[in-house]
Amino acid sequence: MKKIITFLILASLLSCNKNNEKADGYGNFEATEVTISAEANGKIQYLKLEEGEILESNSQVGLIDTTQLYFNKQQLIASKSTVYSKSTNVLSQRKVLQEQLKTAQIEKKRILNMFAENAATKRQVDEIDGKVSVIQEQIKSVETQNAPIVNEVKSIDVQIEKINDQIQKSKIINPIKGTVLSKYAEPNEVTAFGKPIYKIADISEMTLRVYVSETQLSNIKIGQVVTVKIDSGKEMKSFQGAISWISSSAEFTPKIIQTKEERVNLVYAVKVKVKNDGSLKIGMPAEMWVK
């Protein structure tokens, strides 16, 4: 974000007042400017915006080439399918062993019942116990073999999500509603990460930065309604504004807007919010009248 702050020459403003009354503050309009930069590398496929155009927030205004990202994503999806096939073989082995375990447990239950009625020997009981234990160990072994495969699938999923994020960042999304101030790129140009594409600002409400003396501080407060005037032909056009911020520290009067005698005076910066009817521009000089 960049704020353009220029200051008004006092003599030119005073010449606009026929009754020689002095305004309570002099300054210039400013707005918060946002520079939209590329978040991906590649050729700009399209860029639908022009200087002076009003863009809506969260609207897609352009696209950077995603062909290579698409191919990389398809390659990962194919790799994931191959890994899944390995997991399917392992899981089928586990399923077979689970069926064998189920049969062995049924047989074990039958032999235990027979042993309780002295119809089976202790050796038969030991043999079926051993058989059940062996199958259970085989199932654990198969599950251990499947664990690396599952982790490999998770790793591929993460890589796919990273590419999805890169594809999303290849879309040029306008973040705020505002007016395009400058355009730095054109379709078919190659851009790079961090390279500016355009600059935008919300100028529906402008900020007038003025400077007031210490003696004027007692007459103003945050939220106070004031009158803002700009040059408009022979007369001055008035707007209603509201003080949104008052600096807590003093600074020397900017040299370019004060006479030599007044340059040593300490002043306080004040910001005034003003609704823009379309006639206010960034850098335009204006006056603040408290009365």
Shared domain check, 207 and 187? no
pLDDT tens sequence across 19-32: 457 888 899 999 99
Answer with the one of 149, 169, 189 that is the final residue of a domain.
169
Shared domain check, 145 and 77? yes
Structure tokens at 191: 């851009």
The CA distance from 238 to 224, in Å, is 16
- Residue 4 located in a structural domain: no
> What is the distance between the terminal CA atoms of the chain, rounded to a whole angstrom?
34
- Residue 72 located in a structural domain: yes
Shared domain check, 99 and 216? no
- Residue 236 located in a structural domain: yes
- Statement: residue 140 has pLDDT above 50: yes
- Residue 3 located in a structural domain: no
Q: Of 66-70, 99-103, 115-119, 129-133, which has the strongest mean pLDDT?
A: 66-70
pLDDT tens sequence across 185-219: 999 999 999 999 999 999 999 999 999 888 888 88
- Residue 95 located in a structural domain: yes
Shared domain check, 72 and 160? yes
Closest listed residue to residue 165, CA positions, set 73, 249, 101, 241: 73
Shared domain check, 21 and 52? no
Q: What's the chain's average pLDDT?
A: 86
Domain count, the chain: 3
Shared domain check, 183 and 59? yes
- Residue 19 located in a structural domain: yes
**Residue 110 belongs to domain with CATH number:** 1.10.287
Instruction: Determine contact, residues 212/25, Cβ cutoff 8 Å.
Output: yes
Shared domain check, 143 and 97? yes
pLDDT of residue 60: 97
Residue 48, domain extent:
40-65+173-197
Shared domain check, 164 and 183? no
- Residue 1 located in a structural domain: no
- Residue 2 located in a structural domain: no
Shared domain check, 177 and 55? yes
Shared domain check, 260 and 234? yes
pLDDT tens sequence across 42-65: 999 999 999 999 999 999 999 999
- Statement: residue 263 has pLDDT above 90: no
Q: Please name the residues in contact with 61: beta carbons below 8 A apart, sequence gap of 6 or more.
A: 47, 48, 49, 55, 172, 173, 174
Instruction: Determine contact, residues 63/87, Cβ cutoff 8 Å.
Output: no
Closest listed residue to residue 212, CA positions, set 289, 291, 273, 274: 289
Shared domain check, 103 and 91? yes
**Residue 272 belongs to domain with CATH number:** 2.40.30.170
